[in-house]
Amino acid sequence: MTSALFHAFAPAAKPEADFVNIVRGEGSLVWDDSGKDYVDGLGSLWYCQVGHGRAEIIDAVADQMRRIEAYNIFDPFTNEPAVRVAEMIVERSPHPDGRVFLGCSGSEAVDSALKIARQYHQKRGDADRQVVVRRTNGYHGTNFGGTSAQGIAPNREGWGDLVPHFVEVPHDDLEAAATLFAEQGERIAAVISEPVQGAGGVHPPPAGYLEGLRRLCDDYGALLIFDEVICGFGRTGEWFGAQHYGVTPDLMTFAKAVTSGYLPLSGVILSRRVCEVFEEPGFIFRSGYTYAGHQASCAAGIANLQLMTDEGLVGRANHVGGQLRGGLDALMADGLIESWRGTGAVYAAELGRDAILVRNEILANGVIVRPIGTCLAICPPLVITDDEVGRIVDTMADALR
């Protein structure tokens, strides 16, 4: 029987009893309602860097809630946790002199970035620049902007007309992007790209690809948007994918790991150059979300970023990655997987066949990984122990055999 809950990205007719009911978590382990434990090989949904059950974040949220749980930041209001978390975010980004527009979800961040990019050009008198370039395999959330921006065709279908002026290029072909710019560069407002494509199957960019996008945007006057919703906050072994690949975008979206998922928080980092177009006296920015700057979410973000800094978790992504790559190399040497791809602490094992049945077996044996087409994605908490990584790899090996 279905329940009153209509699940996200799920078969709508699936009986509630067939879902895994997670009731508790500690570190990189979670437990279901039968008491069975699982290694959380996906950090819930690509977001839990610091592990589950961290008292530092729970206490910070509780302390904040006892003072005030939330009060909006629409004009004329502000609050200290929102200002502080924005400072901590820009300090860690390639835009220390930039500013942060806050939301709650990655989808809100993406739609905001798309609106900011278009309005940037409108305000500069370039109203014809509306085209947004997207890449195949790109995932940018499920609001109408992000649905239009994503390069996973089935996710775009069935909703009627999407937002106009989105043009797709193959995710690994810089020449195709160059041709598009040559044809209609003066109409292109922005290119949106994940540094490492995550939900589309963990595809790191080809060498020189992101640098090439940066050059095209500069040459033709378009903005480069990095969607850092998965890459941001340590996943690649740097604070942001931008720093990992040494390419600086004009706008950066983030969500997920900014709080390690303890409470919803997201946003857009605007470079100084973009801010300046909006900071003219008297201009009112007419977009924003009720829960932007929610004090409890911002308190979770502050505590999470402090914890990640104190524990050196950004650098630890490289250690976790080394352990995972060793395991994936062994699976490949044994002929159990075709190949793997990834960087930092986010990987996909390519099976060369549908991954759902294998995932089901792995799940039954106490490890959570995510099937995406013919691959299995792995994106564990950055506090995961070597033994727990071993359990992920061994469980995958057993299921694949």
Ligand X SMILES: Cc1ncc(COP(=O)(O)O)c(C=O)c1O
Q: Footprint of ligand X on this chain (CB under 6 A)?
A: 46, 105-107, 110, 139-141, 146, 194, 198-199, 227, 229-230, 255
Which positions ≥6 away from 401 have C-beta within 8 Å? 336
Q: Is the dihedral of CA 119, 124, 125, 126 positive or negative?
A: negative
What's the closest the beta carbon of residue 8 comes to ligand X, in angstroms?
8
Report, in Å, the least distance between residue 349 CB and ligand X.
Answer: 19
Choose between 203 and 391: whose C-beta lies nearer to ligand X.
Answer: 203
Q: How far is CA 71 from CA 77, 86, 109, 165, 366, in A?
A: 8, 16, 20, 36, 41
Q: Could you give the CA distance from residue 317 to residue 321 in angstroms, rounded to a whole number?
A: 6
Length of the chain: 401
Nearer to ligand X, 111 or 388 (CB): 111
The nearest distance, CB 141 to ligand X, in angstroms, is 3
Query: First and final CA of the chain: distance in angstroms?
Result: 34
Nearer to ligand X, 106 or 342 (CB): 106
Q: How far is the CB of 11 from ligand X (least distance, A)?
A: 19
Distance CA 171, CA 169 (A): 6
Residue nearest to ligand X (CB): 106
What's the min distance (Å) between Cβ of 140 and ligand X?
Answer: 5
Question: Is the CB of 46 or the CB of 289 nearer to ligand X?
Answer: 46
Distance of closest approach, residue 223 Cβ to ligand X, in angstroms: 17
Identity of the residue, 247 or 399, whose beta carbon is nearer to ligand X in the bound complex: 247
Quote the least distance from Cβ 293 to ligand X, whole Å. 17
Amino acid at 388: E
Which lies closer to ligand X via its Cβ, residue 131 or residue 265? 265
In the bound state with ligand X, the residue whose beta carbon lies nearer, of 258 and 393, is 258
With CA atoms as reference, report the closest residue to 268 among 107, 400, 112. Answer: 112
Cα–Cα distance between 377 and 374 in angstroms, integer?
10
φ/ψ of 113, rounded to 5, equals -60, -40
Sign for the CA dihedral angle at 46, 52, 55, 58 comes to positive
Rounded distance between C-alpha atoms, residue 95 and residue 89, angstroms: 9
Q: Are 40 and 29 in contact (CB under 8 A)?
A: yes
